[in-house]
Each structure stands twice: as structure tokens, then as C-alpha cells.
Structure 1
């Protein structure tokens, strides 16, 4: 992906607040397609971002965010399994509701700085997202879909990492202000 593409997604990569609420303003119907939610071993980047030990388990939630049925974002959130019995227990029952319902309506939750990142075209995360994208949408994930952003949310000492991977279709849109 060239610098022009990154520049055209820059506003999305840096937009503060709720991505779900910003996306909802783009069309008539916003939806969350739950791909999977399960217990999984730590991934190195998640472990580092959450400050976790080398061994253990996370609860992982992977979704596609859609506007008017068009898939626009693949997202993955991860939290230490123990935190789902404490500060992040509501994550277990979230289903197809946006994660924003948990993150932005609670003053006790604090977000780290957004960290834009270009994924490797052949890296594990990109390949994993591409398999899920194809299975969920029937479409091959666009080759230009390489730009993501990461952030960590903290509540009562427990951290939740969110990674959002943006479809190139968002280049034509402005993020606007969330409601």
C-alpha cells in the first residue's frame, strides 16, 4: 500500500472515540458480524501490549463491522482470561453489539494512544483476517487492506487490546464526529 493510501486513511487511523459510532453515521444500518469469540493462547503482540506473562490464555473476539451490509472493518479484541470474571466480564455477553457499548459509556475506562500500523501482506494476522473475511463475506479481502490501528483500554487495572483493520472503501469517506 502506497503512501497515498495511508494518507487517505489517516483520518480513520487517528480518529478518537468510538469507531462504531463513526461508521454508523455513514449509512442507514450499522451492524456487527460476530465471527468468533473464544479462549486462545496469547499472541506475542497482544501479550506485549497487555503487559502479560509469556504463558496464559486470552479471550479473543473477532468481528466484521458493516455499514448497509458492506464490510468495512475487521476487528480483534483480546483480554486476559482472568479479566473476564472481573472488570471485563460484560465482554462475554456482548454478542453482536458493538464493543463501544462497553468502552465509551464508562468513565473508569481509559484508552491508550492510537497506534497506526501497516500489516505485513503475508503475516499471520493478515492471513488470519483474510480467511475470516472470505468465509464471512464470500469476497476476497482487498489486497490493499493492510492498515490497522491498535489501542489498549484499561479499567480497574485490567487491559483490553483492540486492533481494527480498515477496508480501502473507507478511503472515500470521512470519519466525521461520533454521536
Structure 2
């Protein structure tokens, strides 16, 4: 994995804000948002129950750079995470980082090898949404859990290699941007 992708894995704060800083046009392509079964890692972190799952691709200047999946308890849609229900194509990052009552766990890096269920899901969605195969044999990403009034929300983000190129260019042109 490149140094630039490692920086993205560890970058604190809002991924949305960092992506917006990379170009002129930031957009969220919503792939699906529905109550759905959890993946094994999500069950381990969040426990049993019914969950709202939202999967998106984040683009900068038309280039797909991130595949993301957020998971929140369905019951919290009538409470702390009610804004999720109507999020649509708005970025989740604004909801999470504009609210001082939201706490975030430490970032956890991930490496999803080709052929595993997570990598297959990302590759399938990427191909359907962009018309191109997932551009790497391994999906590098990160996850964290946000909490608001006792309700937890897990976010996983997988970084396409193009993000490293854009991020490296940004770091070169602005050394203060980390």
C-alpha cells in the first residue's frame, strides 16, 4: 500500500471535507439505502438487531474515489440518527462532523483481499456504478464507530488507488494539508 493511502486511512476528521478539498465538484452516488443483513464484522461491533445500511460511492470531479457503507440501528431512525432516513445524496460526513454531540471511535485500518466477501461486494458495486472494475487487487480502507445519545453507527470506507494520486498531488501543492 502506498504512503498516500496509509495517510488516508489514518486521516482524522471528516473524509467528506478532505475529498471536497481535492477538486471542484464533490458528489455522493447512493447505491442503496435499506434495512439489510449485517456483515460478520458489523455484527461483532454492533450486535444483533435490524439495521439501516447505506452504501455509496464518493466522487470528486466525476472520478469515483471511495466506496462507503454506513450501518445504524433501524430503531435509531426515530431518535438520534433520524436525519439518516432523508439523507439521499447528501454526505453523511456533514451530519457526523457538524454535531458536537457525536463521538468517534479510533480509526481502524482494513485490508480486504481479492476474493473475500467484502472485496467482492465492493468490486460488484464499483463495476455496476462506474462501468469499470475495482482498480486494485486489494481494497484498503478504514472503519470507525460514531455514537450519539447511546446509538452507534459504523462507517466503513474503501479507498480506490486514484485517491492516492489525487491526495499526493494535494500534499505536493500544499504541504500543510495532511
TM-score computed with the length of structure 1 as normaliser: 0.90
CA contact (8 A) 2:55 2:68 kept: yes
Q: CA RMSD in A?
A: 1.5
Show the counterpart of 1:44. Answer: 40
CA distance in 1, matches of 2:150, 2:2: 33
CA contact (8 A) 1:145 1:167 kept: no
TM-score computed with the length of structure 2 as normaliser: 0.91
Aligned partner of residue 146 in structure 1, secondary structure = strand
Alignment of 1:17 with 2:48, yes or no, is no
Q: What's the CA shift string for 1:16-37, capped at 9, x where partnerless? A: 1110110111111000000000
Q: What's the CA shift string for 1:70-123, capped at 9, x where partnerless? A: 000000000111111110111010000000121011111000000001012111
Gaps of 5+ in 1: none
Gaps of 5+ in 2: 172-176
Aligned partner of residue 94 in structure 2, secondary structure = helix
Show the counterpart of 2:129. Answer: 136
Paired positions, count: 171
CA distance in 1, matches of 2:136, 2:5: 15
Shift, 1:160, TM fit: 0.2
Equivalent of 1:81 in 56, 74, 81? 74
Alignment of 1:31 with 2:27, yes or no, is yes
